Structure 1
Amino acid sequence: MGSFTLRHIGAVGGDREALLRAVGYDSLDALSAAAVPAGILQRAALDLPPALDEAAAAAELAAFAAANNPRRAMIGLGYHGTITPAVIRRNVLENPAWYTAYTPYQPEISQGRLEALLNFQTMVSDLTGLPTAGASLLDEGTAVAEAMALARRVTRKGSVFLVDAQVLPQTLAVVRTRALATGVDVVVVDGDLVEALQTHEAFAIVVQVPGVDGGLRTPDELRALAATAHDNNATVIAAADLLALTLLTAPGEWGADVAVGSTQRFGVPLFYGGPHAAYIAVRDGMERQLPGRLVGLSVDADGTPALRLALQTREQHIRRDRATSNICTAQVLLAVVASMYAVYHGPQGLRAIADGVHDKARRLAAALEGHGELTSGSFFDTLTVRVPGRATDVVDAAAAGGVQLRLVDDDTVGVSVGEDATETDLAAVAEAFGAAPPTDAGAGDLAGHVREVDYLTHPVFNSRHSETEMLRYLRGLADRDFALDRGMIPLGSCTMKLNPTTSMEAISLPGFANLHPFAPAADAQGYLAMITRLCDALAEITGYDRVSVQPNAGSQGEFAGLMAIRSYHLANGDEQRTVCLIPASAHGTNAASAVMAGMKVVVVKTADDGSVDLADLRAKIAANADTLAAIMVTYPSTHGVYEDTITDLCALVHDAGGQVYVDGANLNALLGLARPGRFGADVSHLNLHKTFAIPHGGGGPGVGPVAVREHLAPYLPSHPLLAEAGPATSYGPVSAAPFGSAGVLPISYAFIAMLGADGLRESGQAAVLAANYVARRLAEHYPILYTGANGLVAHECIVDLRPLTKATGVTVDDVAKRLIDYGFHAPTMSFPVSGTLMIEPTESESKAELDRFCDAMIAIRAEADAVASGEWPADDNPLHNAPHTPARVLADEWAHPYPRSLAARPGGQRLGSLGTGATDKYWPASARIDGVFGDRNLVCSCPPVESYAD
């Protein structure tokens, strides 16, 4: 075992032997042979380079970073130089308390990140002038596409979507990709937008503020545009620069219905294109149509204000064949960074940054007079300068001076000023045009926009401007949360494993963090080499032929894979093939992605043993023989079983002319053990934020590469601004940046490099061993719902609580909340079967932690039995009242029939660091939260401080 493998896998040596004895096998290989169907078991070693130790991996990543040349990025196009305050970089972006957290589905132990996201929503709402903002989307391009879909749902009129010719080119390309599958006619308007609205029966129009050339329309022009749109029953979408909105009229004030954009320049590094948090905000009446997550205010069982994901059932139980959007998509960690940037600087600080950017742009504009022609005299930060026949020379001269500019065409250069631009940079740009350095003189204006500082008035944005206060605020929020740095998060299908520090450290290296996604390829050689090697490794591990890392979330990977299948059928003249078969047990995201890709969902039944019902599959194939496009399956199954019929399933679909999509959510159980691309699948998306150790970050960042067999390779995503990103035969991009969230790819690269072929296999085997150990220990106390060959599960097991609920009245919610008292995040609740818990311990957990979890579940069973026996009333017991907050336990009066000690430290937890092996007590920040109250009383921005006092 390599040195990193020993660090990564939790149970080794004698502990591993004990786990193996408990499940009845003498080796990992023997367990694998018993669990994995022989027809798909991979016996030969993966063809990967030898494993690196941690020091060697760090050195290799540093070499890749050094091979990039970020220069000063002044290219623009929606990506801008920014300065990440060190207190935020170190205490959020690089802090496992923030980056190892899971999506806040258990709000009682997520109050810190929920508050940070509420701050994000408030920030966006205030700056856009629209009352309700979501908790983040993936990037600006996909946010505009989501806004297009939202507008069509709301307006229900026609199929024409008008796009301002000033929209960012990558946004237009992403919108065209989405429109391909949904029958939307995208019409680009390079002229009078008001006239276009009167000419076309459009359901919506999107306008870029400022435009791609930096130019600004006047507030009166924007108001006239909005008025005409509304007269014609069209929704108005503003794609707006959030920093510019500190100076410009808010979209909500001039009549926009929806505002979208990126928050990257709020302290989030360029990261060669991502991960970055996009935003979306809407007018009154649209809030329940919002895609993505929405944090709302509710109350807990004690009547105390508490936060939760509002309208949460949309998120966890997508409506399958009636789905309108794949909404399991967010960039929480980056949204937290952006929100804290606003908290740290406050409204006056943000205004000062924006004023500084605008002033530098005006001074540069004045310096360039006589050395080029500006296309607009009104701008915020971007100048587009005509220099007939000289554009390439200017860009090259600027690069020699350490600055990257945008080559628009042979005659035109784009210059965007970021927060990080220095006087030296401005002088280098001026010199490249043949001009003298800027002076105090300025030229240009804001086209009549005037905005006073009346935004971000909540105290949170006006009280944390010293580093001391900011540090304490971040620490206080983190202490309210439960993340992987505190204990096991045994979520089924979510694979919360160790995120290696050696991998994580590299993302902050300047060569990775500060590179613009549209930098010349010559300046991105380190990234391009690393991405190529990562794609090759992922192809080898999965058995596919080609991989694209452009999809910046699992949801985007699903969509990209289905679009490849759609394109393949169209290329073969089979345009009628639009039916996608999806097992009833599948992730809800599968159906949502199929609908987004223009497919019709047909559900296949689940057999009694949890596998796909092959008889029903044959019937559904026969009923859709000429229209079958694909089947989407998860392997191992969502029920945590290696189904031995997977090769039969693939053959049946292929024989009928369809393609097989294997969801990669459970790939952790296949590492080195089986390869989907070799046992019959045509395409998969991979969750790098699960299997390959990119952290969840509270619900993002994610990366969802799409892997395909050779016949689908011509239909991988491409990008209009970088030919190297994908094939010319592609349908287009699915994300705004050519390589999606490239900034976190070093994490997975290092993870694979440090494990090597043997370590990856051992990692997968250890995950299966841990799951079977948990299943064996709990089987004496709870039914294990599904097992495969030899009574084994794969990487996860489903504990059936329905008999317990029937016998005792104790619900799955009661068990989940009581686990908090024991110091655990709950497993996945009621999916894929209502009334169950799906448990995935991963390979990272030690035997001691596995035992601690099993002991807690066994103790909870005993507590439920005490309720059933009448020892405790059904409405006053440790389970019903869980979780127990300090306020409850420390109250002067204690009227409950069980002792405080059982409430506060079940399982003998210690309340502090009192000795070796002690487990410090985690205290939940709130009692059980009332979800119905929060949905009925939707409050999704920072409430007045008085409400907390009341």
Structure 2
Amino acid sequence: MAEQTSLNDLQQHDDFIRRHLGPREDEIQAMLQELGLDSLDDLIEQAVPHKIQVDKPLAVDESRSEAETLAYLKSLANKNTVAKSYIGMGYYDTVTPTVILRNVLENPGWYTAYTPYQPEIAQGRLEAILNFQQMSLDLSGMELASASLLDEATAAAEAMALAKRSSKNKKCNLFFIDKNVFPQTIDVVKTRAEHYGWDIHVGDLAELDSLDVFGALLQYTDITGQIHDLQPIIENLHAKKAIACVAADIMSLVMLKSPGEMGADVVFGSAQRFGVPMGFGGPHAAYFATRDTFKRSIPGRIIGVSVDTRGNQAMRMAMQTREQHIRREKATSNICTAQVLLANIAGFYAVYHGKKGLTNIANRINRYASVVAEALKDAGMTLVNNSWFDTLTFIADDVDAIKLRAEQAQINLRYDGNKIGVSIDEAKTQADIEALIQVLTGETSNLNYLDGKAEGSIPSHLVRTSDFLTHPTFNDYYSETDMLRYLKRLENKDFSLAHGMIPLGSCTMKLNATSEMIPITWPEFAHIHPFAPEEQTTGYLEMIKELEADLVEITGYDFVSMQPNSGAQGEYAGLLAIKKYYESIGQSHRNICLIPSSAHGTNPASAQMAGMKVVVTKCDENGNVDVADLEAKASELKDNLAALMVTYPSTHGVYEEEIKQICEIIHDNGGQVYMDGANMNAQVGISKPGEIGSDVSHLNLHKTFAIPHGGGGPGMGPIGVKSHLAPFVSGHSVRKVHSVEAEQGAVSAAPYGSGMILPISWAYIKMLGRQGLRKSTEVALLNANYLKNKLAAHYPVLYTGRNDKVAHECIIDLRPIKAETGISEVDFAKRLMDYGFHAPTMSFPVAGTFMIEPTESESKYELDRFIEAMINIRQEVEKVRSGEWDAENNPLKNAPHTQADIRHWDKPYSIQDAVYPSQATMDGKFWPSVNRVDDVYGDRNLICSCPSIDSYHQD
């Protein structure tokens, strides 16, 4: 009689673990055998220093099935109230065109791609971002735009920094902010200015005449809705040699005279209302535009137009794409990411609607606002603003009565004493406006009557007359069929995790599971304003608190702050917590930050932004922190030592044996330890940074905890801190952050950063559970060590740790090959495209190397395919060395190869050698859409707007 299967054996709790991990159990055993190991526990014992290993399992829940996880998360989502929001303040309900929702936001072909450092396999994304830049230029009236920043408030802080660098009023230290700028923006700018040592004056615009400033921040339209003529204000600023920075609502610019036409130097704002859900505060792309004069000071990334080796148009990241890693503490900013996925959506929204569609939307918003204004006037109420685009502020006789009616109708308004603000958006219908008027006035309304009375609300000299969105891209895709095909055409040009492994060291391009991604577009998460009343966001807060608790357990810290909305923001926030802590104990003189020479470039840039002085410490020949040099510098500088920034495992992919001693050295000399969380994927369930001895870490949720990279953003970088630093994490001036008692300034616009994507990491932890989290780390180490062993016979492995093991990534040295043959790491990177791979991290942290991280999600088949490609390329190098292939005209130097090459074949080697170098490429070929891009040409001929449509028709 067959043995009956128990009910327990039929449970699906561990099913997600199996699906998240790439190798099957028999493959795990085969890989362990390759390494001469018996088990994953054996691997951990050999690879990870015993002194840092945890001695008990993580105290997080057991693994839940995908269905259970989604059902429970839905129960939390249902606790949120999706009210009609009229709060505004930079966040507006919007209608994401469904063709964009399904084919971009919910499409792994778009959201699992990496930053376009390899432009030949990222032309679709690059074109989409170029559309965003062109849209930004057209609407702002400026000459140069970036690929997006993190949010409007941080963009304002970057604008202030640009003003300080660029102003001719060099001796001045004062920056002016109009009191009617959004309060969250004022909060973030104040935080940034404080640690740069600059003075801030928040006041009435009339005060500017009497102030000596290096720059000023103006809101267009301001928080009350008033539309100011900025031209005389800007002329006054220019007379003082000051820089005019304007925060402008992108939708209003469809109808209003552009700030660029009024002389503004920097124009920025949120592009959220162009089709990106509010999502409790993010992620949202901020646009940032300036004058060509300031192109060397613009923060973040810029997409430029260049040519490939065939002379065809090709796009690439231009200028300061790796500035943080090159200039380090002298960088203009520590921001090393953009909000690419969200910028793409905003750009596609403009493509979808075009000038005509946007004009209709903006006119309807404005007309609804004017109708509400008439109703308020008829009810005897006094408007604070006498001009408006979408926002009205009025003085209410009975605020409490209006509040009660609003609560009963589930309508959210903006309250400020006896003033009430209302902002209209595109999602509002005629019925919504009727309900709003009923709440505001207590009376029913006749919209046709009110519309007939309503007069123009925009001063005639501030009405837009200049054209915009004239490029054919914004005018050619009228039907959904055309739009769908355009999106698909761009998607097909991009390499993503949907195509194959992206083995980028330090970037952890793991599975972004569908069940993790689904909830972000649920209305209960997507359509919540970040300043909605707390009682309407109960489900959000429960989810966030659960995620915080899990991260506290995983990291060994005492508290987690969710606000930083990128890894670089997390670094900055963590250093500010250290700085504020020292101020609280009377040691504000501590301002020196020790940083190993191998550190991420964002580390020194963040330290500089936090007002710290960077001192670099040496690494030894094995790539580890030189403990003797560190101890000597810490002792020498102990009176002023503030912090050490150290990455663990090291940037070189090694578990440093002396990490606990390193932390003790810093503490013994009065400093704090900041542990960069970039490599946390090698620690989860095995070690805890808070128990190793560090005081604070940021956590890259877009690496270790499965939030996708989105083609170059979004990200999230919350920080974990020990209890003594907890009072000094970021607060928020508009909405109190739960559990944060201290009144510290904000570092991001929203209290919980990019709240909409937090369910991804929450679900990742819940579905893996304590067993799956540890096993993910174990398999990440297994995959990296297997790959390292297989490649070691063909390439020098630069650094290894105990028992010749690496952590979750390894570095192979290509410099000897370049010295002997002239085949460079760039040639290797481009040749890998012919084999159907994205290149590993190139020339970081060591020039002329590859840093390879396979993650736990890649199968043995995919690892073997990559290993085969690397071995084949090594054999190709030998053909160059022996003279069988020409030193300059060979498949490596000419890579990547495209279909254009086949049409005009002129190479001394075969087509098969070029484009079908492996069986896998014959079974399924990913074609780069352009040949190798000419970076030098692109920098010498900087073009950052959409080129003529004729240039798209190329061979």
**TM-score tier after normalising by the smaller chain length:** over 0.9
Is 1:165 aligned to residue 179 of structure 2? yes
Which letter maps to 1:349?
G
Which of 724, 730, 733 aligns to 1:711? It is: 724
SS of structure 2 residue aligned to 1:603: strand
Contact kept? 1:812, 1:835, Cα under 8 Å: yes
1:424 corresponds to? 431
Is 1:106 aligned to residue 118 of structure 2? yes
SS of structure 2 residue aligned to 1:666: helix
1:189 corresponds to? 203
Distance 1:318 1:399, change over 3 A: farther
1:386 corresponds to? 395
Which letter maps to 1:305?
Q
> Distance in 1 between the 2:739 and 2:25 partners?
45
> Distance in 2 between the 1:697 and 1:564 partners?
29
Distance 1:157 1:438, change over 3 A: farther
Unpaired runs of 5+ residues, structure 2, are 1-12
Which of 896, 900, 909 aligns to 1:887? It is: 900
Contact kept? 2:302, 2:321, Cα under 8 Å: no
SS of structure 2 residue aligned to 1:693: coil
Contact kept? 1:246, 1:453, Cα under 8 Å: no
Which letter maps to 2:182?
L
1:848 corresponds to? 861
SS of structure 1 residue aligned to 2:507: coil
Which letter maps to 1:899?
S
Q: How many residues align?
A: 933
> Distance in 1 between the 2:438 and 2:214 partners?
47
1:940 corresponds to? 944
List per-residue Cα deviations over 1:598-646 (Å, max 9, x = no partner): 1000000110010000111012112211110000000000000000100
Is 1:800 aligned to residue 813 of structure 2? yes
List per-residue Cα deviations over 1:143-180 (Å, max 9, x = no partner): 00000001101113411000011100000000011011
> Distance in 2 between the 1:398 and 1:250 partners?
35
Contact kept? 1:318, 1:592, Cα under 8 Å: no
1:79 corresponds to? 91
> Distance in 2 between the 1:717 and 1:688 partners?
18
Contact kept? 1:426, 1:437, Cα under 8 Å: no
2:691 corresponds to? 678
Which letter maps to 1:110?
A
Deviation at 1:726, TM superposition (A): 5.7
Which letter maps to 1:933?
Y
Contact kept? 2:300, 2:321, Cα under 8 Å: no
Distance 1:443 1:520, change over 3 A: farther
> Distance in 2 between the 1:947 and 1:790 partners?
56
Contact kept? 2:172, 2:214, Cα under 8 Å: yes
> Distance in 1 between the 2:175 and 2:295 partners?
21
Deviation at 1:425, TM superposition (A): 1.6
> Distance in 2 between the 1:772 and 1:315 partners?
31
Distance 1:741 1:450, change over 3 A: same
List per-residue Cα deviations over 1:788-813 (Å, max 9, x = no partner): 00000000000000111122211000
Matches within 5 A, 1:22-171: 22-155=34-167, 156-171=170-185
> Distance in 2 between the 1:608 and 1:368 partners?
74
> Distance in 1 between the 2:805 and 2:401 partners?
66
Deviation at 1:74, TM superposition (A): 1.0
> Distance in 1 between the 2:94 and 2:354 partners?
16
Which letter maps to 2:497?
L
Which letter maps to 2:353?
H
Q: Which piece of structure 1 moves more, 592-601 or 894-903?
A: 894-903
1:5 corresponds to? 17
Deviation at 1:316, TM superposition (A): 6.1
Is 1:230 aligned to residue 242 of structure 2? no
Deviation at 1:910, TM superposition (A): 4.5
TM-score (norm 1): 0.97
Is 1:362 aligned to residue 370 of structure 2? yes
Contact kept? 2:178, 2:203, Cα under 8 Å: yes
2:299 corresponds to? 291
1:760 corresponds to? 773
Contact kept? 2:324, 2:602, Cα under 8 Å: no
SS of structure 1 residue aligned to 2:918: helix
2:3 corresponds to? none
> Distance in 2 between the 1:925 and 1:97 partners?
16
Q: Which piece of structure 1 moves more, 658-667 or 150-159?
A: 150-159
> Distance in 2 between the 1:820 and 1:731 partners?
47
Contact kept? 1:725, 1:739, Cα under 8 Å: no
Deviation at 1:928, TM superposition (A): 0.5
Contact kept? 1:270, 1:515, Cα under 8 Å: yes
Contact kept? 2:300, 2:320, Cα under 8 Å: no
1:817 corresponds to? 830
Which letter maps to 1:627?
N
Deviation at 1:451, TM superposition (A): 1.3
Deviation at 1:436, TM superposition (A): 2.5
Which letter maps to 2:925?
K
Distance 1:813 1:316, change over 3 A: farther
> Distance in 2 between the 1:304 and 1:83 partners?
37
Matches within 5 A, 1:716-755: 716-725=729-738, 727-755=740-768
2:384 corresponds to? 375
1:479 corresponds to? 492
SS of structure 2 residue aligned to 1:880: helix
Which of 917, 926, 940 aligns to 2:930? It is: 926
> Distance in 1 between the 2:331 and 2:578 partners?
20
Contact kept? 2:335, 2:569, Cα under 8 Å: no
> Distance in 2 between the 1:802 and 1:318 partners?
19
> Distance in 2 between the 1:313 and 1:90 partners?
30
2:26 corresponds to? 14
> Distance in 1 between the 2:699 and 2:312 partners?
41
> Distance in 1 between the 2:839 and 2:521 partners?
32
2:188 corresponds to? 174
> Distance in 1 between the 2:826 and 2:573 partners?
35
Which of 676, 682, 689 aligns to 1:669? It is: 682
List per-residue Cα deviations over 1:844-901 (Å, max 9, x = no partner): 000000000000000000000110000001101110000001100232xx33221101
Contact kept? 1:136, 1:292, Cα under 8 Å: yes
Deviation at 1:666, TM superposition (A): 0.2
SS of structure 1 residue aligned to 2:942: coil
> Distance in 1 between the 2:471 and 2:424 partners?
29
Unpaired runs of 5+ residues, structure 1, are 912-917
Matches within 5 A, 1:301-340: 301-312=309-320, 314-315=322-323, 317-340=325-348
Deviation at 1:327, TM superposition (A): 2.6
2:219 corresponds to? 208
Contact kept? 1:367, 1:435, Cα under 8 Å: no
Q: Which piece of structure 1 moves more, 368-377 or 869-878?
A: 368-377
Contact kept? 2:324, 2:334, Cα under 8 Å: no
List per-residue Cα deviations over 1:206-250 (Å, max 9, x = no partner): 1100000111113xxx11111111010000011000000000000
SS of structure 2 residue aligned to 1:586: coil
Distance 1:149 1:316, change over 3 A: closer
Contact kept? 1:430, 1:437, Cα under 8 Å: yes
Deviation at 1:67, TM superposition (A): 1.0
Contact kept? 1:274, 1:737, Cα under 8 Å: yes
Matches within 5 A, 1:564-713: 564-713=577-726
Contact kept? 2:836, 2:921, Cα under 8 Å: no
Contact kept? 2:519, 2:759, Cα under 8 Å: yes
1:509 corresponds to? 522
Q: Which piece of structure 1 moves more, 42-51 or 698-707?
A: 42-51
SS of structure 1 residue aligned to 2:218: strand
Is 1:415 aligned to residue 422 of structure 2? yes
Contact kept? 1:347, 1:453, Cα under 8 Å: no
List per-residue Cα deviations over 1:919-942 (Å, max 9, x = no partner): x10000110001011011100001
> Distance in 2 between the 1:114 and 1:806 partners?
33
Deviation at 1:428, TM superposition (A): 1.7
Which letter maps to 2:189?
V
TM-score (norm 2): 0.97
> Distance in 2 between the 1:516 and 1:70 partners?
9
SS of structure 2 residue aligned to 1:601: strand
Which letter maps to 2:313?
P
